[in-house]
Structure 1
Amino acid sequence: MILNFLLLMMVLSSMIFMKMINPLSMVFMLLIQTLMISLISATFISSFWYSYMLIMIMISGLLIMFMYMASIASNEKFNFSFKMIMLMLLSPIFIIFNEKEELLLKKEMMMSNNLMLQELIMNKLFNSKFIIPTIMMITFLFMMMVVISFIVSNMEGPMRKSN
């Protein structure tokens, strides 16, 4: 039930993100997306450490983006269109209809998942199929950290000075 709700909200927030114009609202939508992705990963992996680290890394990057965007972007009002408001209002109706179908299979799924859950806690994340993308992501994040630390060094200061 919660997983379907989170997946539906991910789709909804992705559609809303494509319609955003203001950079600050885009940062807010990225924060919501990160929270939902971490909640989904926490339901698949019984350890919350991975999702906690994902939230902390993404929020730190979003705070840096927010500082630069707040100094660069002008103070624009958020203009919500009628389509976005209708999309937000109709999404709970889809969730209600989706819950009724899930209640029928919930007991069977819970019984089968409890038996295999103890063995596959971290195996889902670090199995042989996903080890190469995981190593590439770790390498990419490390390279970006090194590049950003060289760009914003103590001698040069930030890329754009605020008044």
Structure 2
Amino acid sequence: MLPPPARETTSFSRIVAAFVFAFAFPALVLSQAIIWTDDAMALAQRAASAASGVVAALPFGAVLGWPYVFCAACAWACLHQFGRHHRSLAAGIGAITGAAVAVKLTGWHGADVSLLWPLSAVLGLVTGLGVWWIAYGPWKRGTSPRKASPA
């Protein structure tokens, strides 16, 4: 049985929170991964860079990530119209978006394709699931989803 359409099971504030997560989470994870895997830096320098990387990652995520978030949001809006906001589709959209980021970063013949493509796809998958959970996940105690008015 399919879940009800998204407009009946979420709120505007949850959708906004999901968009913020879609911009912030991949940027933070990638910035921290780059910093902590850099062999050229000393450990103390990595810690200082990691702290400043959090601040720098957020605007870079918004500036560089908007085309991917926009495309994923358009795909999600289409699913919303058809009432197909399933968790597995959110994961699939996220994985495709992550793979698109990897293609943009390395091209089709990059040396890091075998490492970056799976990492980006998994990061996109986790981001898609996170967005789904924020937008449609469990409701807090004392609140209930809005019901459609009988027509």
Scaled by the length of structure 2, the TM-score of the pair is 0.31
Larger RCO, structure (CA 8 Å, separation 6 or more): 2
TM-score, normalised via structure 1 length: 0.29
